[in-house]
Amino acid sequence: MSWRAYPLVGLVGLGLILSCWEAQEDYAAFESARSNLLATWGEQVVVPWYETFVETTQALEQSATALCAEDGSTTLEDVQAAWVTARRPWKQAEVIAFGPYKEEPYRLGPKIDFWPAREDAIEERLAGEQPLTQDLIDGLGVSQIGLPVIEYLLFAPRPTPEEPFARDTRRCAYLIGASRKLHSDAERMLSAWVSDGYLKSFAQAGIETDVFYSSQDALSEVVNRIGFTLENMRHEKLSKAAGVAGQGPPLPETIESRFAAHSI
């Protein structure tokens, strides 16, 4: 190599070094921006959703208890409205249905919202003779607890609609127990994010936790869930029930919230 080429080689080498340095700085900047975004989502969006869910499920439990006490302070319509209010933040949070929502040891999603309601399972429980204690209800499978079951108890036609709701003691026991269980699961979901550290794992992905390999991994999880939620609405909540887009005959029994008319 001619000595005249040495300065050129040196300049090229210096350029490569500076380029790598800039790339590292760019990566660090992107990583910091993603981490800040995840922290904002977790602290200002996700946690407030679940905090509201805890508050509204507690109000639902209190309303159900008052209705069945038959003290005249609460009507069936009041409890139905409390159910609608409690369900709203939960459905908003569907876009972050990962972590404690679907992973063990929590897997709270199906316990809270296993839809559509399985009428036969609910009616079988109502018609049975086994006392509907809180311990029993806390141990029931996902098809017999959660928002869809409470919806059915509140909105589905009753055998004796002319009688006060509180006179149906088994329905009342089931309603109160299921509402209390729902509130407990709502508290567990919030605790999983805040007290048990999932919020930190999400906001500091790839730094102090191995739940996500990187902030990009956590960000991709959110984006993928948004896409899945939209596809789930199109396929499971609309097409299947309506029998369109090659989904076969209409299946109205698969409508998400057919008793309260609050699907999607």
Check whether the bond before 131 is cis (ω within 30° of 0): no
Three-state helix/strand/coil letters over 190-241: HHHHHCCCHHHHHHCCCCCCCCCCCHHHHHHHHHHHHHHHHHHHHHHHHHHH
* Per-residue confidence (pLDDT) for residue 17, from 0 to 100: 42
**Residue 260 contacts by C-beta under 8 Å, 6 or more apart in sequence?**
80, 83, 84, 151, 154, 155
Q: What single-letter DSSP state applies at residue 46?
A: I
User: What domains, with CATH codes, occur in the chain?
Assistant: 36-254 (1.20.1420.20)
User: H-type helices in the chain, by residue range?
Assistant: 5-41, 47-69, 76-92, 108-112, 119-127, 134-138, 147-155, 169-194, 198-203, 215-232, 240-242
Q: CA angle, corner 81, sides to 115 and 168, nearest 5? A: 75
pLDDT at 7: 43
The confidence score (pLDDT) of residue 26 equals 60
Unique residue bearing structure tokens 């009753």: 158
Q: Please tell me the predicted confidence (pLDDT) of residue 264.
A: 62
Please say whether the beta carbons of 178 and 146 come within 8 A. Answer: yes
Helix (H, G, I), strand (E, B) or coil at 72: coil
At 194-214, the pLDDT tens digits run 999 899 888 888 776 678 888
Q: How far is CA 226 from CA 95, 172, 220, 229, in A?
A: 5, 37, 10, 5
Q: Angle formed by the axes of helices 47-69 and 169-194, to 10°?
A: 160
The pLDDT of residue 224 is 85
Q: Helices 76-92 & 147-155, crossing angle to 10 degrees?
A: 150
Residues of the chain short of pLDDT 50, as ranges, are 1-23
**Residue range 101-147, pLDDT digits in tens:** 999 999 999 999 998 889 999 999 999 999 999 999 999 999 999 99
